[in-house]
């Protein structure tokens, strides 16, 4: 088993969207609603109540629409299926909300006393600050809100500095607040990202360690059996230390019988090194032997579960036997092994598909009730391997009945 030590970028992005909508949906709406109620309380003596209530209703409709959108996106898991679309729609909602406050301030400067304008500005500061703590799972969301609410106010005050005595000071002060909030938001955002990544890594490690722990007893027993078997050199490949073809046939027979008794699945991976002959011709056979030894080590690291067997079938061909593995599990193992080989970056200048060593893999899964024999599984895995090579190499092909049709064609 190969651990993923860092959360993939797409999973981190989806987690940020989910965290933003879970925590920010109620809190953001509540902060803005409190701001609307406070605005009505401030301005009712200076602005007709009808206009105030109409403005409040429109803002309420917008906030409820945003809340409904977030709820639906969470229920339908859109942040996983269409994360970029959800991202831009959330930014649009934040920008519209910020524009509501900046435009309300500009209108208020013509209708209410100067003192109330400053109180209203402090109210906007409060709404932004209250929103910050729950929206910084995604920094761009908070920035969109900040720069459509306070930024226009600051520049409007600076552009109209002569109209009111303190406009210049208010504009500079608001720009300073924007700068401070931006700096603080960056620190909080990085903390959010670290927390999400740490939680993901802990959950992943706990899940995979749990899988290993549950099979430790069987693993230890099989290791004792393996030591006895490896003393027989006839069953061991001298170069890699793996089992040879004889071991493959023996283990496959045992695992097929066990799968039939337990009504379980069994998967097999057959793989080889792409353009290995070119590699030997270029770097020499000793270097080729080192590549095979390295590949054997990577395969053993990728198979830590009880009962999983790695063997050298011949030449540059290897086989992995995965008891109990379904189609999804065997493809996941094959993908991880493929990525691990690529990460090693073993130079192969004469490869026609990459500048480093790559592998092609064919996989086949034995389903409950199947009467296939070991030789049948080997043939199917071999056909899938050739299908992977026909697909351009550095690929994984899963055996299906169509595989035979494609070969025949």
Q: Which residues does 352 contact at the CB level (< 8 Å), separation at least 6?
A: 275, 393
The answer to whether residue 10 is catalytic is no
Which residues partner with 322 through β-bridges? Answer: 267
| Integer Cα distance of 141 and 345 in angstroms | 39
Locate 325 and state its tokens. 């593995």
| Integer Cα distance of 374 and 313 in angstroms | 13
Task: Give yes or no for a contact between 252 and 321, defined as CB atoms under 8 angstroms apart.
Answer: yes
Q: What is the DSSP letter of 360?
A: E
* Surface-to-core class of residue 270, CB atoms within 10 Å of its CB (0-12 exposed, 13-18 middle, 19+ buried): buried
Out of 308, 316, 317, 373, pick the active-site residue.
316
| Integer Cα distance of 128 and 147 in angstroms | 10
Which residues partner with 39 through β-bridges? Answer: none
Q: Which residues does 77 contact at the CB level (< 8 Å), separation at least 6?
A: none
Annotated catalytic residues are 316
């Amino acid at each position: 088993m190969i651990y993923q030590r860092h959360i993939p970028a797409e999973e981190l992005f989806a987690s940020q969207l989910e965290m933003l909508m879970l925590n920010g949906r109620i809190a953001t709406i509540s902060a803005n609603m409190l701001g609307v109620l406070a605005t009505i309380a401030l301005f009712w003596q200076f602005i007709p109540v009808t206009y105030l209530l109409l403005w409040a209703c429109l803002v309420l409709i917008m906030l409820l629409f945003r809340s409904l959108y977030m709820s639906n996106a969470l229920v339908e898991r859109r942040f996983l299926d269409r994360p970029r679309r959800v991202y831009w729609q959330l930014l649009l909602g934040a920008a519209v909300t910020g524009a509501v406050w900046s435009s309300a301030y500009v209108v208020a400067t013509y209708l209410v006393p100067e003192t109330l304008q400053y109180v209203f500005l402090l109210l906007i500061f409060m709404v932004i600050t209250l929103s910050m703590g729950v929206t910084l799972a995604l920094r761009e969301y908070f920035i969109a809100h900040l720069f459509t609410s306070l930024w226009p106010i600051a520049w409007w005050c600076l552009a109209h500095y002569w109209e009111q005595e303190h406009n210049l000071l208010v504009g500079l002060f608001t720009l300073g607040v924007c700068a401070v909030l931006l700096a603080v938001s960056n620190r909080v955002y990085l903390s959010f990202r670290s927390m999400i990544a740490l939680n993901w890594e802990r959950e992943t490690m706990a899940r995979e360690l749990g899988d290993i722990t549950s099979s430790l007893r069987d693993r230890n027993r099989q290791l004792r059996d393996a030591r006895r078997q490896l003393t027989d050199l006839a069953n061991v490949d001298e170069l890699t230390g793996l089992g040879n073809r004889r071991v493959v046939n023996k283990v496959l027979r045992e695992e097929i019988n066990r799968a039939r008794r337990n009504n379980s699945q069994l998967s097999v991976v057959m793989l080889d090194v792409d353009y290995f002959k070119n590699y030997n011709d270029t770097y020499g056979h000793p270097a080729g032997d080192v590549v095979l030894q390295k590949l054997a080590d990577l395969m053993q690291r990728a198979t830590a579960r009880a009962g999983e067997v790695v063997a050298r079938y011949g030449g540059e061909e290897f086989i992995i036997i995965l008891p109990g593995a379904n189609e999804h599990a065997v493809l996941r193992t094959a993908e991880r092994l493929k990525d691990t080989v690529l990460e090693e970056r073993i130079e192969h200048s004469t490869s026609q598909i990459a500048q480093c060593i790559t592998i092609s893999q064919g996989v086949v899964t034995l389903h409950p009730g199947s009467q296939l024999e070991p030789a049948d599984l080997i043939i199917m895995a071999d056909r899938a391997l050739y299908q992977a090579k026909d697909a351009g190499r550095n690929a994984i092909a899963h055996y299906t009945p169509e595989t035979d049709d494609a070969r025949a064609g």
